[in-house]
Amino acid sequence: MTRAELDAVPSYVVNPIPERKINLSTNEVPFGPLPGVAEAVAAATAKVHRYPEMAATGLRDALAARYRVAPERLVTGAGSAALIEHLVRATAAGGGEVVHPWRSFEAYPMLIAGGGGRSVPVPCTPDHRHDLDAILAAVTPATRMILLCHPNNPTGVGLTGAELAAFLDAVPPHLVVAVDEAYREFVTDPALPDALVEHGHRPNVVVLRTFSKAWGLAGIRLGFLVASAEVATAVRKVVTPFSTNALAQAAGLAALRAEPEMLRRVGLVVSERDRLAKALSAWIDGIPAAQANCLWLPVGERAVELARACEERGVLVRPFAGEGVRVTVGTGEENDAFLAAIAEVLA
């Protein structure tokens, strides 16, 4: 009764998070909603018997002003994950190929399949970089889209300005290149370009951003993309109607008003990220310099065992069997608990 190709697609599993555990497994920011968000959402609940404003005009205009793009180039949705699927539906439905790096965001194969595309994963280099030459070489006449993750989840490694520019110059201009910048706000290395600022003007470039990470709205589901007006118009046609819900619109507007506090919190995450990286590097080799709000521990075959041992000590981290463990940067206290747990495990 359902599409046979879905049988081969892995399910996206996020296990329930027990309240009593420290959760460093899902890449959120740990400080609660930004000031003004809870109040704005509470006020918006008074009208939840009505449909939301379909085009999310107020939020779209605020985003357009904040990111200096024309509103018609913006599409909002129920998280950037949903928008990735919509984008695939708009470019590759019917079995078109979508080339993407791997290991990367674990939902990509599912979102590509969900949008009716065919996932073509291209292994990252041993030092966790996108293998851009191999990605280009994987392009065939059946390719409809390339998806990059910058910086990459789970490794936190991004592209340099020269790399990204040369890659975009080399891609055939009819192919959409989607740059997923879910973690952009955590980037501190000036070598990593802001793809929206540097390349957003290219007609085939689509930049994806989310309110789930730095902006603290993971539970409410809000993301957006910026594309050429033509691509944005096509995506809008396949977005599930009203999926930028009324509470998300209110929350997004309130979060944007709290940008200075968002930046302050990102500063805390970044300094904790650097502290954690330094401490962990004394015990584990090859941790890449992270530019997201997580660290990648390339522990290979020990990944599952290590995560289980941390869980037994009250800290949840994300294992990728046979590859490594991703740990989200938490509060100072949470990170200390993780360091204590892992010190015990490694001893």
Ligand X SMILES: Cc1ncc(COP(=O)(O)O)c(C=O)c1O
Q: 97-102 and 143-149: which strand pairing?
A: parallel
Q: 105 or 338: whose CB is closer to ligand X?
A: 105
Q: 91 or 212: whose CB is closer to ligand X?
A: 212
- C-alpha distances in Å from residue 52, one per residue of 38, 74, 208, 240, 297: 18, 17, 22, 13, 42
Q: 180 or 272: whose CB is closer to ligand X?
A: 180
Q: Applying CB under 6 A, does 28 fall inside the site for ligand X?
A: no
| Cβ contact 119:108 at 8 Å | yes
Q: Applying CB under 6 A, does 328 fall inside the site for ligand X?
A: no
Q: 153 or 204: whose CB is closer to ligand X?
A: 153
Q: How far is the CB of 4 from ligand X (least distance, A)?
A: 27
Q: Applying CB under 6 A, does 311 fall inside the site for ligand X?
A: no
Chain positions 210 to 239 lying near ligand X, rule: CB under 6 A, are 210, 212, 218, 223
* Of the candidate residues 25, 153, 204, 293, the single one contacting ligand X (CB under 6 A): 153
* Of the candidate residues 180, 185, 272, 311, the single one contacting ligand X (CB under 6 A): 180
Q: Tell whether omega for the bond before 193 is within 30 degrees of 0, i.e. cis.
A: no
Q: Binding residues for ligand X, how many (CB under 6 A)?
A: 13
Q: How far is the CB of 212 from ligand X (least distance, A)?
A: 3
Q: Which of 310, 204, 237, 304 is nearest to 90 (CA)?
A: 237
Candidates 56-64, 73-81, 130-138, 254-262: pick the segment binding ligand X (CB under 6 A): 73-81
Please report the beta strands in 97-185, taking only residues with DSSP state E, as ranges in sequence order: 97-102, 118-123, 143-149, 176-180
Q: Applying CB under 6 A, does 182 fall inside the site for ligand X?
A: yes
* Of the candidate residues 110, 149, 329, 345, the single one contacting ligand X (CB under 6 A): 149
| Cβ contact 56:76 at 8 Å | yes
Q: What are phi and psi of 98, to 5 degrees?
A: -120, 115
| Cβ contact 33:227 at 8 Å | no
Q: How far is the CB of 49 from ligand X (least distance, A)?
A: 26
Q: 205-210 and 223-226: which strand pairing?
A: antiparallel
* Side chain identity, residue 110: M
* Of the candidate residues 33, 79, 109, 288, the single one contacting ligand X (CB under 6 A): 79
Q: Applying CB under 6 A, does 25 fall inside the site for ligand X?
A: no
